[in-house]
């Protein structure tokens, strides 16, 4: 029962962060959200449900997402892509650790993947919120102040 709760939490987080990035984010947030959705779908489609060895499909999708997030981090003046790419690098390193040492158990392998991928989503979510707040401040600064009649109370 608890396992299903965690799975629904991951799906809900994916929908919330990626939906918010497409709705209120700038181009960098939208590119990262598209990459996250594609990586999420590829991981689910190519997953080995026995967890016997390395998850090659997840390894490939995580490596591609790392390249995308690194490209976004190089082009962007913001800080959130650096954190997203760093956490994604940790996801890829966990795959490499499992490749080097087959003694890494499936539970620790899966748990590390989940934890660091959630941090990637958090970084994209923080970037989206900061972009949205900055656009609201810019819009508020560009709006003219209301003029009132002499003696009127401004609210």
Going from N- to C-terminal start, the domains of the chain cover 13-132
Task: Tell me how far CA of residue 106 lies from CA of 37, 84, 109, 140, in angstroms.
Answer: 24, 24, 5, 51
Write down the pLDDT at residue 32: 96
Q: Give pLDDT tens digits along the chain (155 positions).
A: 666 776 788 788 889 999 999 999 999 999 999 999 999 899 888 887 776 778 888 999 999 999 999 999 999 999 999 999 999 999 999 999 988 988 878 788 888 888 999 999 999 999 999 999 988 888 878 776 666 555 545 55
- Cα radius of gyration rounded to whole Å, the chain: 20
């Amino acid at each position: 029962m608890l396992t299903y709760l965690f799975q629904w939490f991951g799906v809900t987080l994916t929908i919330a962060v990626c939906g918010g990035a497409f709705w209120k984010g700038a181009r960098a947030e939208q590119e990262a959200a598209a990459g996250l959705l594609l990586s999420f779908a590829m991981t689910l489609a190519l997953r080995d449900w026995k967890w016997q060895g390395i998850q090659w499909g997840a390894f490939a999708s995580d490596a591609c997402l790392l390249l995308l997030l690194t490209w976004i981090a190089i082009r962007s003046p913001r800080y959130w892509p650096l954190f997203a790419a760093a956490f994604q690098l940790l996801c890829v390193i966990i795959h490499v650790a499992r490749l080097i040492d087959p003694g890494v158990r499936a539970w620790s392998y899966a748990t590390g993947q989940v934890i660091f991928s959630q941090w990637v989503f958090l970084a994209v979510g923080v970037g989206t919120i900061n972009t949205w707040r900055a656009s609201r401040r810019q819009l508020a600064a560009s709006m003219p102040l209301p003029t009132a009649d002499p003696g009127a109370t401004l609210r």
